Chains A and B, each alone.
Chain A
């Protein structure tokens, strides 16, 4: 193990290297480019034995990853925003073909209004593609989640692609203290990739043919079950990672000072850190505030949430993306999960287009959730840090 002061992008690149990725097809896009640049350097310097394939678009990059994975090797790529949108068509092929590709998506808003800054709407738009999605809080988790992603994706009970989502710039370009595990430790944690289906000229087969209605529905349900089953494997992998490296993250979700809380906020991504600080502040004032950190958007922890929300009078949900006229996608999902329990669920939209979520915004969110917990009527969805009164 070595301690490094590195960006979130470089933390992901180290993870992909330590996972002994064999093929890296990539197309550059800010703020992801540092990941594939660093991987290209590792390969060039002989530190990673892999093929770096510069693709002519993200659509091609994902196509190449599919080919590589179907060919029986470990494939990794990274993208962001418009790049992910351009991959959209190919993304859907991966889960149903059961190819365990790992991809980092550095969250960035989709234009227009065009920007290079963080927003979760790029990956949220792919939440029904069948990819598993994990969102991380800091650079250490970016590295750890990427390593865990390979083990999770390749588990025979799962065999699904995993998207590791990290907030653009706030993680991708921020340097932090990161513990980079040694190769031997990682080799013990992550066994060699044993592909399930391998394209082999000696044994010709067709992957991803046209599927008539007689079969498609069963295939979809099979995939639905696989995504659902991955919940157990996520818990296992997280525990195994904790044993190997001394850090674990709670699997699908984590909590902070939630045990006796009256009200709590649910966050994902980097906003979680600020919410922790806000909870500490409120607790020091004697208020029973807590935090739920959602890690996986898919599989979504419907059951886990119901258990955690028990005893909560109100739960606010912070979204860094918008589902137009419905608040945010996380809010609607949480509201669905808690539809039969008495906990009041409020939606909170903040940090859109990269706007900084400042400590004051966070205090405002908690204050609103606290009011809801006291039985006051509050808006179903509130935008924080918005100029101009809400309608």
Chain B
């Protein structure tokens, strides 16, 4: 097939496999004899945090290495991102979108009205992979949405990438997830009514950046240089599961308090504990180390 430069942007959360999805799409395009590239937004990867990945596909060799600012295709691996990130920023007016959701395209307000495929990728992933890693399921819907690559090439790309990294069984289940998503994807037009959500960012001019490299209180926004101080950047928002504490069962051994990698478990004077959910990322370590099973991990961001 002949296509001019086609640019794709993936939005997901750390752990959902957005980067692998971008790489697999690129590999499928190369299998079809095209040129392709895929790369993540180069930040520190963190489970649950919003992540972005990019892919470019072209019949000709691709020379551009910049990030993708005006995508032809938007792939959203986590619907909740629509509320917290300007996901659709720059999406071309004749662009397309693929969204992981149980809702139909007409029920989704992306902020830009475009052709859209929706697919319950999380449900499909849970069924085939027993984990909410939605990258291969969403790729099935990508094939359905735009005739960039065939399902056959996608299957081959998934087998190659996942097979090499995780073994044959993983390759099989991921191929099955993609196939089911291809079947189940609903295609329509999404709504473009809401304004794109904006993230509050401190972007000082060079004159405004305080001298020295220091992270301190009292400086603008609690931060001098960097992506955001902890006061403003509530990392608990990345949480997709939440600890539930049963004080009656607690034996006050404080293992959870000692083991919490975020230091967000607070020790009370009587050695019972409480969580600062502003910063709890729901890693579940506290529940793992609790000898009395006083901590359970509940699905969802709210305890």
Interface residues of A (CB under 8 A from B): 3, 5, 112-114, 116-117, 137-138, 167, 169-171, 173-177, 270-274, 276-277, 354, 356-359, 386-389
Contact = CB atoms under 8 A, between A and B. Distances in A.
A354 B42 contact: yes
B37 A174 contact: yes
A277 B66 CA distance: 11
Interface in B10-39: 23, 26-27, 30, 35-39
27 contacts: A3-B30, A5-B36, A113-B225, A137-B63, A138-B65, A167-B65, A169-B39, A170-B39, A171-B65, A174-B37, A174-B39, A174-B65, A175-B26, A176-B26, A176-B62, A271-B65, A272-B63, A274-B63, A274-B66, A354-B42, A356-B66, A358-B67, A387-B204, A387-B205, A387-B206, A388-B205, A388-B206
Contacts of B26: 5, 175-176
A274 B27 contact: no
Given A5-B27, A176-B36, A356-B66, 19 more contacts: A112-B213, A116-B42, A137-B63, A138-B65, A170-B65, A173-B40, A175-B38, A176-B35, A176-B62, A177-B37, A271-B65, A273-B62, A273-B65, A276-B63, A277-B64, A358-B67, A386-B206, A387-B203, A388-B206
A208 B47 CA distance: 50
A169 to B, nearest CB: 4
Residue from B38, B63, B203, B204 whose CB has the most chain A CB atoms within 10 Å: B63
Contact of B63 (A170, A277, A388): A277
Nearest to B24: A5
B272 interface: no
A169 B63 CA distance: 16
B38 A273 contact: no
A174 B30 CA distance: 14
A359 B67 CA distance: 9
Given A3-B30, A112-B213, A388-B207, A274 B64 contact: yes
A224 B27 CA distance: 45
Contacts of B65: 138, 167, 170-171, 174, 270-271, 273-274
A5 B205 CA distance: 39
Contacts of A138: 63, 65
A47 B183 CA distance: 41
Contacts of A270: 65
B208 interface: yes
A274 B39 CA distance: 16
A273 B35 CA distance: 14
A167 B39 CA distance: 13
A387 B209 CA distance: 10
A89 to B, nearest CB: 26
B67 A356 contact: yes
A386 B206 CA distance: 8
Nearest to A171: B65
B69 interface: yes
B225 to A, nearest CB: 6
Contacts of A177: 30, 35-37
Interface of B is mostly: loop
Contact of A175 (B23, B63, B66): B23
Nearest to A167: B65
Interface string B41-71: 0100000000000000000001111110100
Closest CB pairs A-B (n = 4): A388-B205, A273-B63, A174-B39, A169-B42
A358 B35 contact: no
B39 A358 contact: no
Contacts of B203: 387
Contacts of B225: 113
A174 B38 contact: yes
Contacts of B39: 169-170, 173-175
A251 B55 CA distance: 30
A354 B30 CA distance: 28
A27 B36 CA distance: 31
A359 B66 CA distance: 7
Contacts of A167: 65
Contacts of A112: 213
Interface in B136-195: none
Contacts of B204: 387-388
A279 to B, nearest CB: 10
Interface string B225-245: 100000000000000000000
B160 to A, nearest CB: 8
Contacts of B67: 356, 358
Contacts of A137: 63
Residue from A5, A174, A356, A388 whose CB has the most chain B CB atoms within 10 Å: A5
A166 to B, nearest CB: 11
A340 B187 CA distance: 64
A5 B158 CA distance: 12
A114 B44 CA distance: 13
A176 B66 contact: no
Given A273-B63, A387-B206, A388-B208, A173 B23 contact: no
A3 to B, nearest CB: 7
Contacts of A114: 213
A362 to B, nearest CB: 8
B19 to A, nearest CB: 9
